Chains A and B, each alone.
Chain A
Amino acid sequence: MLKSLPDKKKIITFILENAVSVFLIGFIIFMVFTKRSFSTWDNIVNIINESSIYGIAACAMTVVIISGEFDLSASSVFGWSTVLFTMCCNTIGVLGAFVVTILCGALFGAFNGYLVAKVKMPAFVVTLGTMIAIKGLAFVVTKAQPINTDNATLKAIGRIHVGDISIIPMVYVAVAVLFIWFLRNTKFGRDIYATGGNYEVARLSGINVVFSKFIVFTMLGAAAALAAAMYGVRIKAGWAPYGQDLSLYCIAATIIGGTSLLGGNGGVHKTIIGVLLLAVLFNALTLLGVSGSMQKFVRGLVLITVIMLDAIVAKRRKDR
């Protein structure tokens, strides 16, 4: 009896610490039994496709959050990039469009990174400013109209499939693997953890903290642009308001996955689970016939619940 007690405690701790994964598995089991259409192959492919585009940006957002910062401007970079990508497809071809879009995204990211890392302005304010400015830029360039393209190469890229999986999830997986490898196995990746964990200690140990903070924003800019290009591959159009909820979605997916907003811990592999949870949840709500505004309601509740759970677990760990 006495021996079994700690085990029980262990189980509770395990469930609490992995609350999100446990919830995800429980929810999937629930859906499989209640809704036939949920576990069909078509729907699974649908979930994967839906989550891939924002997932690309979410991976990069996780790296920014690990470094102890966050970025509100990713949504505007995404919107602007859909416009730029479509325009480039119409003028200089698909390859050029990819290069120009990603470089431009990286440039915006680098601008944020410079102001945060070097000038030491608070990330919230910097990215609020660039968010407003870049969104304005996208509106000005397009006169607020959506633009589309019928570039043949782009259509061909959109048709590439392996089995039922299109190219977008493949890019997502490649980006995720790249980020996981980068964070775990490179010096720069370890430096980012150190910078987010304790900035002053990292600086005094000779880590180039300014570069670490600078590079994470640049990567996020590039990733948001890549995500926008993938969106372009899918819908062959660009419009300034596209992706307006991207930044907050990415931050939410990161936190839901279990990366702390304080920085210094977590990882991209966790965010993939967070992205998956959000995708499964929205998909399930749609299948259950929940209306649009009700879905938003549930989305907000889930967000609050998860952050509360996360914080309570962190507090327990600290008290122990």
Chain B
Amino acid sequence: MNQKRFIDVVRNNGIILVILLLIIVTGIIERNFLTFNNLLNVLRQVSVVGIVACGMTYCIIGGAFDLSVGSVVSLAGVITILNINAGVNEYIAILYGLLAGVAVGVINGVLISLIDGRTGEAFIVTYGMQVVVASIALFPSNGLFISGRISDGFFKSMGQGVMPIIIFLSIAIVMEFVLKKAKYGRVMTFIGGNMDVAKMSGINIKLNRISYFIISGVLAGLGGVVLCSRVTSSNPTAGLNYEMDVIAAVVVGGTPMSGGSGSVMRTVMGAVIIGIMSNALNILGITAYHQQIVKGILILIAVGMDILNKQLKLKEMAHVKVFA
């Protein structure tokens, strides 16, 4: 019995165990790895991807996904920095950045619910939006880097010290709570699990789905603002390929792409795992390109284990039924 329990723990938390192993090995090889400062550093590095990934998790649980987040990260940063440079109040400037995310989210959501789009349509529509928004982000500065004239204040503090981590974790906790305990979150799981049944139960699918895209958009906007504040400038291509990192965080965390289940906390875990991994590999002196190979394989292993685990469970259930 004890042995069975042990196997269950390994199976359900395989990816965490792998990462623990990596932490221990790296910690033994390199003392600097297991310092508080370094771990804080990792969290700070993953916070932007993490914030965006929280929104993506909602989208995926709700049965869609959003490829436009990377471009929104760029656009929100450009808008915020331009406004701050123009002398706009920093809170208003941040608000404009977030509103850009809301706008993109509304367009995504309305278009996709207009055609009752599933994952396939969401893929193309949000990819189209990614291209459109990315080019909008290029217009104001002709694709050039904009350095920000930032004085001390709220905006500057957003990217410094522990602030990004606090923003990231508090958003994740609130979103996890809403997902698990509030009606809104349960409805989201229902819609993602079976849209037709949810529709017949009288749930306003269109409105709900639009809201997931808005949340994803606004969090991408927030990610862009935090990123800008960290580097005190904006790069119109800062968010290029961000969506892939974001989706990787969700997937490594273990939220299935098919929708209907998952959790924000798992996404946090996924983002941290990827962050720790690249930090550990950096410390071990492995180049960014080698890290890409490792990252790709990590995604495959994470999802492969999840799938095999599910198949084994199904088999066990069938076994129990036959012999019970």
B115 touches A308 (CB 8 A): yes
Q: Which listed residue, B127, B133, B298, touches A248 by the CB 8 Å rule?
A: B127
Chain A residues, Cβ within 8 Å of B289: 136, 139-140, 144
Chain B residues, Cβ within 8 Å of A134: 296
B131 touches A300 (CB 8 A): yes
Chain A residue nearest in CB terms to B291: A136
B257: Cβ under 8 A from any A Cβ: yes
A139 touches B292 (CB 8 A): yes
Chain A residue nearest in CB terms to B142: A293
A299: Cβ under 8 A from any B Cβ: yes
B319: Cβ under 8 A from any A Cβ: no
Query: Interface on chain A toward B: helix, strand, loop, or mixed SS?
Result: helix
Q: What is the interface residue range for chain B against chain A?
A: 35 or more
B247 touches A128 (CB 8 A): yes
A261 touches B120 (CB 8 A): yes
Query: Interface on chain B toward A: helix, strand, loop, or mixed SS?
Result: helix
B307 touches A121 (CB 8 A): yes
Chain A residue nearest in CB terms to B251: A125
A282–chain B nearest beta-carbon distance, Å:
13
A297: Cβ under 8 A from any B Cβ: yes
B135: Cβ under 8 A from any A Cβ: yes
Chain B residues, Cβ within 8 Å of A144: 289
B138 touches A307 (CB 8 A): no
Chain B residues, Cβ within 8 Å of A255: 124
With known contacts A125-B251, A126-B300, A303-B124, A133–B293 Cβ distance under 8 A? yes
A160: Cβ under 8 A from any B Cβ: no
A304 touches B132 (CB 8 A): yes
Chain A residues, Cβ within 8 Å of B295: 132-133, 136
B296 touches A133 (CB 8 A): yes
B123 touches A131 (CB 8 A): no
Contacting A at CB under 8 A, from B225-269, are: 244, 247-248, 251, 256-258
Q: Which listed residue, A120, A131, A300, touches B128 by the CB 8 Å rule?
A: A300
How distant is the Cα of A243 from the Cα of B163 in the complex, in angstroms?
A: 39
How distant is the Cα of A121 from the Cα of B128 in the complex, in angstroms?
A: 26
Contacting B at CB under 8 A, from A102-154, are: 115, 119-122, 124-126, 128-137, 139-140, 144
A251: Cβ under 8 A from any B Cβ: yes
B248 touches A132 (CB 8 A): yes
B297–chain A nearest beta-carbon distance, Å:
6
Contacting A at CB under 8 A, from B111-163, are: 111, 114-117, 119-121, 123-125, 127-136, 138-139, 143
Further 20 A-B residue pairs, CB within 8 A, beyond A125-B303, A296-B135, A307-B128 = A119-B308, A122-B257, A125-B257, A126-B300, A126-B303, A130-B296, A130-B300, A135-B292, A136-B295, A140-B289, A144-B289, A252-B124, A252-B127, A261-B124, A297-B131, A297-B135, A300-B132, A311-B121, A315-B115, A315-B116
Q: B residues near A, CB below 8 A?
A: 111, 114-117, 119-121, 123-125, 127-136, 138-139, 143, 244, 247-248, 251, 256-258, 287, 289-300, 303-304, 307-308, 311
List 10 contacting pairs A-B, 8 Å CB cutoff, sorted by A.
A120-B311, A125-B300, A132-B292, A252-B124, A296-B134, A300-B132, A300-B135, A307-B125, A308-B114, A315-B116
Q: Which 4 A-B pairs have the closest CB atoms?
A: A133-B296, A136-B292, A300-B131, A261-B120
